[in-house]
Structure 1
Amino acid sequence: MIFDLFRLDGKSALVTGGTRGIGLGIAKALGDAGARLVIASRQENQAALTELRDAGYNVDYINADMSDPDAPAKLIADTLALVGRLDILVNNAGVAQHGDTETFSTDTYRRLMSINLDSVFYTCRAALTPMRQQKGGVILNIGSISGYISNIPQRQAAYNASKAAVHMLTKSLASDYAEENIRVNAIAPGYISTAMTAGGFANEEWAPIWTDMTPMRRPGTPQDIGAAALYLCSDASSYVTGEVLVIDGGYTTR
């Protein structure tokens, strides 16, 4: 049956930034398909973990500050100690920061890049060895339409650059490791209704522009991203690697 290809029974999945927003939506989708979940975040969200466990998901939590360059390797080691193998890695942890480039502080820039790009590279690096040893695995990185377009009216050159880099990292890793049965893909969300975008949608200047530039004229939901993540993390996409799937309500068509 075609639906069986979407099942993740017996698979383990690590989701960074998995206690809220897009990350939580992805965790729910993978859990629904039967994956054993390991959720990592800088701050524990007990309500989210309780929700997942009450729904019957097999879930563990690891505290990890992805701005720390030592955190990714430790996170992968801790995950392997918990579940024995890593079948699926979802690099979702990220931060958004707006501001004029001429006044954008070096500290803010470095923190943004350390989480949005450096941690993705380091976590992929740490995951590749066990995935090669077990002769396969799936990596899913969360990019953004901001890796393709320059958003308006907010100015966010550093954020856009970080997400464009994630897209190219995804394609490069996919090319390098395809022969070892390791698939690497990314999702590029548009404007999704989460705590991260709540301030923008509350902004009287920004919100109408975001909506007007989205043909579907509404934000997406974490469930929209979770459904796509399930496809890319399951055998339903067994012949897909190096792709960046845009989910944006049509924003990038204009």
Structure 2
Amino acid sequence: MSTQLFARSITVVARPGARAGSSALRARFSTRPALQNAAPAQAKGGKSPRVLQDFSMEGRVCLITGGARGLGNEFCRAFIDSGCTTMAILDLKQSEAEDAARDLVATACLNSDSKPEDFKIIGLECDVSSERSVIKAFNETMDTFGRLDSVVASAGIVENYSAFDYPFDRIKRLYDINVHGAFFTAREAARNMIPQGGGAIVLVSSMSANIVNIPQPQTPYNASKAAVKHMAASLGVEWAKKGVRVNVLSPGYMLTKLTKTILEHDRELKKTWESLTPMGRMGEPHDLAGAVVFLASDASRFMTGAEVRVDGGYCII
């Protein structure tokens, strides 16, 4: 669960607009699930199978908040897997954003014909709870790339306190990051997308926008994610005729590094979450890759203000 973000840029590789070959995109991340490492299936005659080009992120300039770790980093990898070579990674700590940018390039070049110079990825320091910091990060992104096509507001935090015990300063911090940060990110994205003819914005909410989690108490978090969900619907309507689409991605319980660490000390909690999920398991971060690419690409060109839940069926029952 990534928190905030960056504003001093580090260019990992130059040559904006350079694109990796399609064969490279299929074999990028050797650490991903087994299917990612398999050789691409061949159609008759030795040709690669046809794929729907609307899902391609090739040639798009992407920006992801909270992109140094957790689900935000998974979204960065999903975009590169889908052809993106130009990206701004935003996160709170400069060093972590720089490391994430370098790692993305290095991993993308493993077992592929891609070269570091095929990518231009910058790290931007930015605190999403600060309007001034978000504006600065977007201005620097535009100065570097000249346009923005797909933006994901992924930065967020979660805490578990009972309603009587939740310190007010922590409630305010949670709303400043989860709600105000999502709004600042969406607003600055649209401000830069509208003059160029449009773009796609994805706000990351949670299944908690629709249900009440048990057994852990987290009322302010649930309310913040419900706000993000309705924010996407409202902005989607407001900007619909200006070419800017705003949709929301709502994950269920996901096995991020942070979640795994927590559950190592609470095995019963993991069993409870799995038993409440119809599919009987928690999600892997990579389970969100297809959904975020769908919402950020032309594949969802007639969708705005909509929610895509990836929760193993949790919200159904």
1:215 paired residue number: 278
Q: Distance in 2 between matches of 1:13 and 1:153?
A: 37
Do structure 1's residue 180 and structure 2's residue 242 form an aligned pair?
yes
* Larger Rg computed on CA atoms: 2
Contact kept, 8 Å, 1:18 with 1:27, in 2: the verdict is: yes
TM-score, normalised relative to structure 1: 0.95
Measured in 1, the distance between the counterparts of 2:185 and 2:129 equals 12
CA contact (8 A) 1:143 1:163 kept: yes
Q: Is the 8 A contact 1:31 1:58 kept in 2?
A: no
Large movers: runs of 4+ above 4 Å: none
8 Å Cα contact 2:128-2:184 kept in structure 1: no
Task: Give 1:196 deviation, angstroms.
Answer: 3.4
Equivalent pair of 1:185/1:243 in contact (CA under 8 Å): yes
2:32 corresponds in structure 1 to none
Q: Partner residue of 1:206?
A: 269
Q: What are the within-5 Å matches in structure 2 for residues 22-101 of structure 1?
A: 22-35=71-84, 36-43=86-93, 44-45=95-96, 46-54=98-106, 55-56=108-109, 57-101=119-163
2 CA distance for matches of 1:194 and 1:204? 15
Matches of 1:135 and 1:253, distance apart in 2: 37
The answer to whether 1:118 aligns with 2:180 is yes
Residue ranges of structure 1 left out of the alignment (5+ in a row): none
Matched, 1:242 2:305: yes
Range that drifts further, 226-235 or 122-131 = 122-131
- Report the alpha carbon displacement of residue 20 of structure 1 after superposing the two structures with TM: 1.3
Q: Give the RMSD, CA atoms, in angstroms.
A: 1.4
Asked if structure 2 preserves the Cα contact closer than 8 Å seen for 1:140 and 1:186, the reply is yes
Q: 1:253: which partner in 2?
A: 316
Give CA-to-partner distance per residue, 1:73-115, whole Å, 9 cap, x none.
1111111112111111100000011101111111100110111
Cα deviations by residue, 1:184-231 (Å, 9 ceiling, x for unpaired): 101100001113322442313421110100111111122111221001
Match of 2:259 in 1: 197
- Which one is further off, 215-224 or 165-174? 215-224
Q: 1:193 is paired with a residue of what secondary structure?
A: coil
User: Hey, what's the Cα distance between the residues in 2 that align with 1:206 and 1:231?
Assistant: 32
Decide whether the 8 Å contact of 1:24 with 1:222 is kept in 2: no
2:196 is equivalent to residue 134 of structure 1 = yes
Given residue 104 of structure 2, which amino acid in structure 1 is its aligned partner?
L
Alpha-carbon distance between aligned partners in 2 of 1:15 and 1:109, rounded to the nearest angstrom? 24
Q: Give the letter aligned to residue 156 of structure 2.
A: G
Instruction: Give ranges in structure 2 of 5+ residues lacking alignment.
Output: 1-49, 110-118
- Contact residue 26 and residue 227 of structure 1 kept, 8 A: no
Whole-angstrom CA distance in 2 between matches of 1:14 and 1:116: 17
Tell me the equivalent position of 1:153.
Answer: 215
Measured after TM superposition, the shift of residue 29 of structure 1 is 1.0
Count of aligned pairs: 254
Separation (CA, whole Å) in 2 of partners of 1:51 and 1:181: 33
**In 2, distance between residues paired with 1:192 and 1:235?**
26
TM-score scaled by length of structure 2: 0.77
> Distance between the aligned counterparts of 1:81 and 1:33, measured in 2?
25
Pick from 269, 292, 297 the counterpart of residue 229 of structure 1.
292
